[in-house]
Amino acid sequence: MSLLSAMPAPFSPPADLLDRVRMSRRPLLIAHISPDGDAIGSLLAAGSILYHLGKDPVLACQDTPPASLSFLPRYDRITNQVHEEVDLVIALDSSDRERLGNIYDQGRIRSLPLVVIDHHITNTLFGDCNWIEPRACATAEMIFDLAQALEVTIDTQIATCLLTGIVTDTRGFRTSSTTPRVMRIVSALMETGADLPTIADLALEARSTELIQLWGRAIATITVHQGVISADNTLEMRVDLGRLIRAEGLASFLLGSRDAQIAVVFTELPDQRIECSFRAQPGQDVAAVAYAFGGGGHALAAGCTVDGPLEAARERVLARLYESLRR
């Protein structure tokens, strides 16, 4: 494939990582809790790459992946219970160990060597071998480079997973991390036969009617103050709808308000804690705010989980956001 061979590769996996991957027979790959398109796309793509190398990877995630990603090849192979004897752990798209959820507490997994592959600038370097590329638009972009380094040919299935990661983390090629190189990678992935328009539609636009109804209820609570647009997603709203779904994509939608530099959605969790999801206009840094509350992410898209109740959490987090905007 001429496009692939002409591609500059600024992101190279460390030699130590390649050695550990080559030596492993049955690696355990973990995507982060509350997984998104990049976590699941990277998990499935990396799994296929290792499978092509003759390995027997186990693909795990504590939380059930979004149904909107069920079109991805081998989606059904993702488990939340690890029964197999694995010999290496590879964390994907996860900025800290807590993001691996209870998968990391199962069996003797904690005693195994841990490789971290991630693009979050807030990554805590929690592995024995850390490959972190904050300039990568998605972990999927790094997995593309990993395939090159391991000399695995990217087939349509792998390409579909990688495109899903790139399309979702760039919100359809709209983030500043969407470089000309990203578009060349996308082009190469399309050359394998992967169907970009369908992937973009399924991964970005397709949503359940319940989710749209939840958006409606949450949008009814919005406030705009000092450049911050904020909405609540309460337990009550979701119990009324009969399903405890997350208000996926709402913060990005709210950031469309020209009165806001930052959007935040407060989601009340069943354990009374509050999940905060931040989106920001270029020039802002919500990763720093998220990090201050024990979370993480990117400058323009980040999140954290804080103690409730909702009113107190909202007040504390908004004060920090106003402060960050004044800087």
Site residues for Mn ion per CB under 5 A: 38, 93, 138-139, 169
Q: Which two tokens stand for residue 302?
A: 């980040």
Q: Residue 246: how many CA atoms within 13 Å on its side-chain side?
A: 20
Min dist CB 160 to Mn ion, Å, is 17
Query: Within 10 Å of residue 220's Cβ, how many Cβ atoms?
Result: 10
Closest CA to 101 of 124, 74, 80, 73: 80
Say if residues 228 and 260 touch (Cβ distance below 8 Å): yes
* CA–CA distance, 284 with 288 (Å, rounded to integer): 10
Say if residues 118 and 165 touch (Cβ distance below 8 Å): no
Min dist CB 59 to Mn ion, Å, is 17
Question: SS3 for 229?
Answer: strand
Place of tokens 């996926």: 248
At residue 160's C-alpha, the angle toward residues 246 and 121, to 5°, is 60
Identity of the residue, 38 or 248, whose beta carbon is nearer to Mn ion in the bound complex: 38
Identity of the residue, 139 or 305, whose beta carbon is nearer to Mn ion in the bound complex: 139
Query: Within 10 Å of residue 327's Cβ, how many Cβ atoms?
Result: 7
Identity of the residue, 139 or 324, whose beta carbon is nearer to Mn ion in the bound complex: 139
Min dist CB 32 to Mn ion, Å, is 9
Min dist CB 103 to Mn ion, Å, is 18
Identity of the residue, 93 or 275, whose beta carbon is nearer to Mn ion in the bound complex: 93
Identity of the residue, 17 or 121, whose beta carbon is nearer to Mn ion in the bound complex: 121
Place of tokens 């004060």: 319
Min dist CB 323 to Mn ion, Å, is 27
Closest CA to 102 of 124, 79, 122: 79
* CA–CA distance, 203 with 192 (Å, rounded to integer): 19
Min dist CB 40 to Mn ion, Å, is 10
Min dist CB 126 to Mn ion, Å, is 16
Identity of the residue, 169 or 268, whose beta carbon is nearer to Mn ion in the bound complex: 169
Identity of the residue, 164 or 230, whose beta carbon is nearer to Mn ion in the bound complex: 164
Residue whose C-beta lies closest to Mn ion: 38
Residue 236 CB contacts under 8 Å (≥ 6 apart), including other chains: none
